[in-house]
Amino acid sequence: MRVAMYHKGMDIKIEELPVPKIGPGEMLVKVLAGGICGSDVLQWYRDKTAPRVLGHEISAEIVELGQEVDRWKKGDRVFVAHHIPCNTCHYCLKGYHTACETLHTTNYDPGGFAEYLRVPALNVDRGVFLLPDEVSDDEGTFVEPLGCVIRGQRLVHLQPGQSVLVLGAGISGLLHLLLARAAGAGRLMATDINEYRLQAAERVGADAVTHARSDIPAWVRQENGGRPADLVVVCTGALSAFEQALKSVDRGGTVLCFATTEPGEYVQVPMNEFWRNEIKLMPSYGCAPLDAFAAIELLRSRRVPVEQLITHRLSLDEADLGFKLVAEAKESIKVILYPHMAAGRNR
Out of 283, 303, 320, pick the residue that ends a domain: 283
Query: How many residues are given for the chain?
Result: 347
Average pLDDT over residues 69-79: 97
pLDDT one-digit tens code per residue, 264-295: 999 999 999 999 999 999 999 999 999 999 99
pLDDT band at 345 (very low <50, low <70, confident <90, very high): low
CA 189 – CA 216 distance, rounded (Å)? 10
CATH number for the domain harbouring residue 188: 3.40.50.720
Q: What pLDDT, on a 0 to 100 scale, did the predictor assign at position 344? A: 58
Percent of the chain with pLDDT over 70: 99
Q: CA nearest 37: which of 48, 46, 50, 29?
A: 46
Asked if pLDDT for residue 347 goes beyond 60, the answer is no
| Angle subtended at Cα 307 by Cα 306 and Cα 310, rounded to the nearest 5 degrees | 100
Report, as an integer, the average pLDDT of 307-334.
95
- The three-state secondary structure class of 169 is coil
Band of residue 343 on the pLDDT scale cut at 50, 70, 90: low
Do 252 and 300 share a domain, yes or no? Answer: no
* CA–CA distances in Å: residue 196 to residues 153, 301, 309, 326: 25, 28, 12, 13
pLDDT tens track for 131-160: 999 999 999 999 999 999 999 999 999 999
* CA 13/CA 323 separation, integer angstroms: 11
Answer yes or no: is 343 within a domain: no
Asked if 287 and 148 touch (Cβ cutoff 8 Å), the reply is yes
Closest CA to 320 of 23, 1, 18, 41: 41
Q: Is residue 179 part of a domain?
A: yes
Please tell me the predicted confidence (pLDDT) of residue 43: 82
Q: Residue 90 corresponds to which amino acid?
A: H
User: According to the model, what pLDDT value does residue 99 have?
Assistant: 96
Q: Say if residue 162 is in the same domain as residue 131.
A: no
State the average pLDDT over residues 75-92.
96
Q: Domain end: 283, 300, 319, which one? A: 283
What is the reported pLDDT for 25?
A: 97
Is residue 310 in some structural domain? yes
Average model confidence (pLDDT) for the chain?
95
pLDDT of residue 258: 97
pTM, rounded to two decimals: 0.96
**Residue 46 binned pLDDT confidence (cut-offs 50, 70, 90):** confident
Closest by CA to 240, choosing from 192, 197, 208, is 192
Instruction: Based on the fold, state whether residues 168 and 238 are members of the same structural domain.
Output: yes
Q: How confident is the model at residue 42 (pLDDT cuts 50, 70, 90)?
A: confident
**What number is the average pLDDT over the span 165-194?**
98
Residue 23 lies in a domain: yes
Contact (Cβ atoms closer than 8 angstroms) between residue 71 and residue 101:
no
- Kindly report the CA angle at 88 between 84 and 92, in degrees rounded to 5? 65
pLDDT at 332 over 90: yes
Cα 292 to Cα 80: distance, rounded to the nearest angstrom: 10
Q: Are residues 119 and 10 part of one domain?
A: yes
| pLDDT at 208 (0 to 100) | 98
The whole domain housing 215 covers: 157-283
- Residue pLDDT, tens place only, 217-242: 999 999 999 999 999 999 999 999 99
Whether 124 and 40 map to the same domain: the answer is yes
Q: How much of the chain exceeds pLDDT 90, in percent?
A: 92
**Using CA atoms, how far apart are residues 109 and 319, in angstroms rounded to an integer?**
18
Q: What is the number of domains present in the chain? A: 2
183 plus 258 within the same structural domain = yes
Which has more pLDDT, 174 or 48? 174
Specify the 3-state DSSP secondary structure of 65. Answer: strand
